[in-house]
Amino acid sequence: MDGWSRFTDTFFKPELIERYLPSIASGLVVTVEIALAVIVTGLTLGLLLAVVRTFRVSVLSFVIVIVVDAFRALPPLVLVLIVFFGLPNVGINVPSFAVLWIVLSFVLAAFAEEIFWAGILSVPKGQWEAARSTGLGFLGTLTHVILPQAIRLTVPPITNRALAITKNTALGTVIGVPEILNQASTGQSFAGNATPMMMGAIAYVLLFIPVVILGRWIETRFAWGRA
């Protein structure tokens, strides 16, 4: 057998591609579902925390900064293991996909809070004063004047961060969430062949390359708007 056919036989075996396509596809659905759920809850929570900081209640702000720092400093896999193995032992049973969803949401929220807060700070003080002097209340100023400007500035870093954290859905394989990587490893060990793993890698590339390219586009688009 020559080198090329041995290569295709190891990584692109046609009958294995056919056999494992359904399970990789079902893994893809799970990955997409968890990723979308993480983005929605993570960004919402992050924005909420940043807004709470605008009230300038020092105790609240302090607690938020501490919690956010901790979630930025801890490896997500460590958090996944603590929640997944710890909670059942104290009588709380959470399904593994929910563990992954909750942990990644908090991690994304922590990074998003930091980015949103920086965005809010970057809006000049005059905008606050001008809006308030027209008779707008604090919340009105925040939602109609400050946040629209702040969020626009944060689109590129938020996109990059959301991408980095949704890729962590692959960590779910460690706790048995049936996402792409899990399906691919299971397939690989059943088939005794690396084709399912290659399919998994390709599935991730198909899923995330558009986001990477979108992120590039957003970066230039918004950088232009800022200049």
Partner 1 sequence: MDALLQQFFNFEIMAKVLPLLLGGLKQTLIICVIVVPLGLVGGLLLALLLRAPFRAVRWGAIATIDLFRAIPPLVLLIFVYSGLPFAGLRISPLTAVSVAFFLNSSSYYAEIYRAGIDSIGRGQWDAARSTGLPMFDTLTFVILPQAIRNVLPDLISNTVEVIKLTSIASVVALPELLYSADMARSITYNTSPVVLAASIYLIMLWPIVRLVSRLERRIAS
Give the integer Cα–Cα distance in Å for 116 and 122: 10
Interacting residue with partner 1 among 75, 124, 176, 225 (CB under 8 A): 75
Residue type, 180: I
Placement of tokens 């890698």 in the chain: 201
Please list the alpha-helical segments (H only) found in 74-137: 76-89, 96-122, 125-133
Q: How far is the CB of 23 from partner 1 (least distance, A)?
A: 16
Residues 132-191 that bind partner 1 (CB under 8 A): 163-164, 167-171, 173-174, 180-181, 184-185, 188
Pattern of binders to partner 1 over 1-40, x per CB under 8 A?
Answer: -----xx--xx-----------------------------
Complex with partner 1: residue 201 or 218, whichever CB lies closer? 201
Give the integer Cα–Cα distance in Å for 52 and 127: 19
Length of the chain: 227
Q: How far is the CB of 134 from partner 1 (least distance, A)?
A: 28
Give the integer Cα–Cα distance in Å for 35 and 39: 6
- 68 token code pair: 């956010």
Complex with partner 1: residue 139 or 206, whichever CB lies closer? 206
Span of 54-62, 79-87, 123-131, 132-140 interacting with partner 1 by CB under 8 A:
79-87
